[in-house]
Structure 1
Amino acid sequence: MRAEERQHRILVLARQEGRVEVARTADDLGVAPETVRRDLSELERRGLVRRTHGGAYPVESAGFETNLAQRVTLHVENKRRIAAAAVKLLGDAETVFIDEGYTPQILASLLPTDRTLTVVTASLSTAAAIADSDNTTVLLLGGRVRGRTLATVGSWASAMLTGFVIDLAYLGSNGISREFGLTTPDPAVADVKASALKVARRRVYMGDHSKFGASSFCRFAEVADFEAIVTDTGLSSAEAHRYTLLGPQVLRV
């Protein structure tokens, strides 16, 4: 098997499974682990995967995006810690925007139920998870539902947001970098995120370390737009400090 064909198969597997492990992939392809490591290094050089200890995961781009089923299996413990730390930044906010994605869904489940809150979200999963709370009013944005993420997008969703003034927006992204800001593969998703950003008094970014240094097709925000970035310790303290120089507080949990 030629290197190009082998690397293509590894990339397809990573996108199907959400990640690949060196040992298992070497067995599946009938090659040495060192060969798989070299292939992963080449795929990382081309910006298609990010290496981890013992394997790699795919980088989301204009042509590829993980679905919700994959997201609930990747970096789960990190995402739970991030959500738990981010909810502590709620303060006295009464109206909250919660982005699509698994980390925001976890955060929504941690919101206090002993006070009145209004939650605005594009995520069907998040809305369903918290709709039965007596003290929480859930406003689900209208529009086209994306099958990959079970979230609404389009002009209806963006138009609804322009009519609100939101105390705090919790936002995520497919990539965040100091050079290109916050990005996502789909222009329709970027429009909704940008609209939420514009109407929010405060903004908090949530994302595990795999998002940092990655960039996708559509930019919807700059790092400086956020008061806080909540991530995990997979992001080095030195790199976290570089992000703080752009404005936000960076919390590594």
Structure 2
Amino acid sequence: MKDERHAYILEQLEKRGKVMVTALANEQFVTPETIRRDLAELEMNDLLTRVHGGAVPYIPSQKEMVYEKKMLLHLDEKKRLAKQAAAMIQNGDTIAVDVGSTTVHIADMIENLQFVTVVTNSLSAASRFNLAIEEQRLTGQVIMLPGTTNPYQASVKGSYTIEFLQRFNFNRSFLSCGGVTEEAVYDFDMEESLVSEAMMECSQEAILLTDSSKLNKKSVFEICPISKLSTIISDQEKPQDWVNKGYDWINVNATLKREVFN
């Protein structure tokens, strides 16, 4: 049904030049909130641009989506990626978690982990890891990095952030991105990219979480060459034309199918 709605929305957008949420909801016999989620997903895939009350044909932009909007996109996929990431954390680990609408779900997936130190520049991730401690799914501590806040991404960044990060030795860092190609990992914000890079440089293992919508896409700033990653967790297989750069690739959908089959 979702695919049919998406096709209908794009067809009507081509005919009308602009579509409205209320009209689409009535025509498709769904709630306005369902249509808003559809428009958000189509916008994330560069198929349209949302405006107040509806959408217009795609207008290219290099601006990053506001954090709350990103959280609505590919939610099920992001949770599966986060569950796989949480399973990689071991008792006694010191981990870094950067800003992202995927990495933020790692804390929600933790069960029965002890003596873990979490260092993050994500206000949302810090709150969720604190909740995991309160609910006794996790013991340890959460360290919120210093710096300047970015209210649009619920993040902290800047020179203080990077300076403080360089004092750590992480077992694992969990990173998000705005896009990833065969050669490199990218993000939208220069300063947040530098924070993610610093986390990776201070880690024994650098683990990237990326859903399939970000594969073979570039955004504004390069975080690192892809060869610096230890593991990529995604919801599809590695593209066939990508040369092996030495990292592991985990397809959570393939893992899920094996679990169901067994």
Instruction: Give the TM-score category using the shorter length.
Output: 0.7 to 0.9
* 1:156 equivalent in alignment to 2:156: no
Give 1:63-74 correspondences, 5 Å limit: 63-74=62-73
Q: CA, structure 1 residues 176+140, in 2 after alignment: closer, same or farther (shift >3 Å)?
A: same
CA contact (8 A) 2:185 2:225 kept: yes
What residue in structure 1 maps to residue 12 of structure 2?
27
What residue in structure 2 maps to residue 119 of structure 1?
118
Q: CA, structure 1 residues 162+108, in 2 after alignment: closer, same or farther (shift >3 Å)?
A: same
Displacement of 1:198 after TM fit? 0.9
Q: CA, structure 1 residues 105+151, in 2 after alignment: closer, same or farther (shift >3 Å)?
A: same
For residues 128 and 14 of structure 2, the distance between their equivalents in structure 1, rounded to whole angstroms, comes to 41
What residue in structure 2 maps to residue 220 of structure 1?
223
What residue in structure 2 maps to residue 8 of structure 1?
none
Could you report, residue by residue, the CA deviation over 1:11-44 in whole angstroms, capped at 9, with x for unpaired residues? Answer: xxxxxxxxx9342244356449xxxxxxxxxxxx
Displacement of 1:111 after TM fit? 2.6
CA contact (8 A) 1:184 1:219 kept: yes
What residue in structure 2 maps to residue 195 of structure 1?
198
Displacement of 1:96 after TM fit? 0.5
Displacement of 1:91 after TM fit? 3.8
For residues 88 and 204 of structure 1, the distance between their equivalents in structure 2, rounded to whole angstroms, comes to 12
* 1:95 equivalent in alignment to 2:94: yes
Q: CA, structure 1 residues 59+99, in 2 after alignment: closer, same or farther (shift >3 Å)?
A: farther
What residue in structure 2 maps to residue 211 of structure 1?
214
Paired AA for residue 163 in structure 1: R
Identity fraction in percent: 20
Q: CA, structure 1 residues 67+114, in 2 after alignment: closer, same or farther (shift >3 Å)?
A: same
Structure 2 counterpart SS, 1:69: helix
Structure 2 counterpart SS, 1:167: strand
CA contact (8 A) 2:230 2:248 kept: yes
Displacement of 1:59 after TM fit? 11
Displacement of 1:147 after TM fit? 1.7
Structure 2 counterpart SS, 1:242: coil
Q: CA, structure 1 residues 136+112, in 2 after alignment: closer, same or farther (shift >3 Å)?
A: farther
What residue in structure 1 maps to residue 20 of structure 2?
none
Give unpaired runs (5+ residues) of structure 1: 1-19, 33-47, 52-56
Aligned to 2:174, which of 167, 170, 176? 170
What residue in structure 1 maps to residue 107 of structure 2?
108
Paired AA for residue 167 in structure 2: G
For residues 71 and 85 of structure 1, the distance between their equivalents in structure 2, rounded to whole angstroms, comes to 20
Paired AA for residue 239 in structure 2: E
- Alpha-carbon RMSD: 3.0
Structure 1 counterpart SS, 2:96: strand
What residue in structure 2 maps to residue 182 of structure 1?
185
CA contact (8 A) 1:87 1:107 kept: yes
Displacement of 1:89 after TM fit? 1.9
Q: Tell me the TM-score normalized by structure 2.
A: 0.72
Q: CA, structure 1 residues 249+117, in 2 after alignment: closer, same or farther (shift >3 Å)?
A: same
Displacement of 1:249 after TM fit? 1.0
For residues 92 and 245 of structure 2, the distance between their equivalents in structure 1, rounded to whole angstroms, comes to 25
CA contact (8 A) 2:172 2:207 kept: yes
Could you report, residue by residue, the CA deviation over 1:49-105 in whole angstroms, capped at 9, with x for unpaired residues? Answer: 556xxxxx98996x3111211111111111111111122222455101011112111
CA contact (8 A) 2:97 2:119 kept: yes
